[in-house]
Structure 1
Amino acid sequence: MTEITAQARDSASEDTGYSFVHWNITGTGNGTYLGRAWRTSPRVVFAYTSMSEVITPSGWNNKIRPERDK
Structure 2
Amino acid sequence: MNPKIQGWRNYYYTAYSGRKLAKLDWYILQRFTRWYARKRQRRGWMSSFREVKYLASQCGLKTLL
Q: Which has the higher strand share?
A: 1
Higher RCO (C-alpha under 8 Å, 6+ residues apart): 2
Q: Which has the higher helix share?
A: 2
* TM-score of the pair, normalised by structure 2: 0.27
* TM-score of the pair, normalised by structure 1: 0.26
| Larger of the two Rg values belongs to structure | 2
